[in-house]
Amino acid sequence: MDKKLCIDLQKVPNHVAIIMDGNGRWAKSKGMNRIFGHKNALTAVRESIEAAAQIGVKAITLYAFSTENWKRPKTEINALMSLLINSLKKELADFMKNGVKVNSIGHKESLPKNAQKALNEVIFETINNKKIILTLALSYGSKEELVTAIKNISKKVVNKEIDLEKIDENTIDNHLYTFNLPHVDLLIRTSGEQRISNFLLWQMAYAELYFTGILWPDFRQEHFYDAIIEYQNRERRFGKTSEQLTE
């Protein structure tokens, strides 16, 4: 049975975020190195984007490279950057065909110049696409994002551009990297790990968390739809009681 048929298209999450975990373990299980796992994860990326777009998800954010990932071996980092560049170039035609608008969050300036160039080119080419926003979190850390937001707000207070007494949640939202995105409704993390790893801490305040033991290179459309079905079976209360939701 097509799992997509089990999904209520009126209750699809607006924003799905994914921590793509398990590439290294997948590769190790096959007697290969971690880079082999990263290279074989592209199908999972492609299928997740397609699955999201097909059911009307408006935004999907992928945790592609964290600020902590810079601590990894240089050979792995170089391989990941090369993979990023090649993938962006290879997928551009499909992004255009499928209406995917590419966005990025994080300290993009930390990326190699050729990676920045490839990313900026794809962002420019897809800027008018409207079906789904694909955000790549690159050199991203949520704590760093919040610190940057606080610094920028503080500067505006000093310059009298913002009234200190009028700072509220919307002020914070508007100074985050994700200012143009809705808050996350659903977080998916693969590989069985159950933590959020410094990812979108503010934006996931009311997100539903879905953890699966599937390793990321094995993740396919049906697994994405499993997460959506589970999401739709949950009761999102936002601090209210069940009784209040039915009133």
Q: Hey, where are the domains in the chain?
A: 10-140+183-235
- What are the tens digits of pLDDT across the range 144-197? 999 999 999 999 999 999 999 999 999 999 999 999 999 999 999 999 999 999
Instruction: Please provide the average confidence, as pLDDT, over all residues in the chain.
Output: 95
Which residues are marked as active site? 21, 69
Q: 21: exposed, middle or buried (C-beta count within 10 Å: 0-12, 13-18, 19+)? A: buried
Buried/exposed 107-141: b ≥16 CB within 10 Å, e otherwise: bbeebeeebbebbeebbebbeebeebbbbbbbbbb
Percentage of the chain exceeding pLDDT 90:
93
Confidence of residue 239 (pLDDT cuts 50, 70, 90): low
Q: Does residue 240 register a pLDDT over 70? A: no
- What are the tens digits of pLDDT across the range 91-117? 999 999 999 999 999 999 999 999 999
Q: Degrees (nearest 5) of the Cα angle 180, 17, 97?
A: 70
The dihedral sign for the CA sequence 219, 195, 208, 17: negative
pTM score:
0.94
- What are the tens digits of pLDDT across the range 5-47? 899 999 999 999 999 999 999 999 999 999 999 999 999 999 9
Which strands form 59-66's sheet, in the order they lie side by side? 100-105, 132-140, 59-66, 15-19, 186-189, 208-211
What is 10-140+183-235's CATH number? 3.40.1180.10
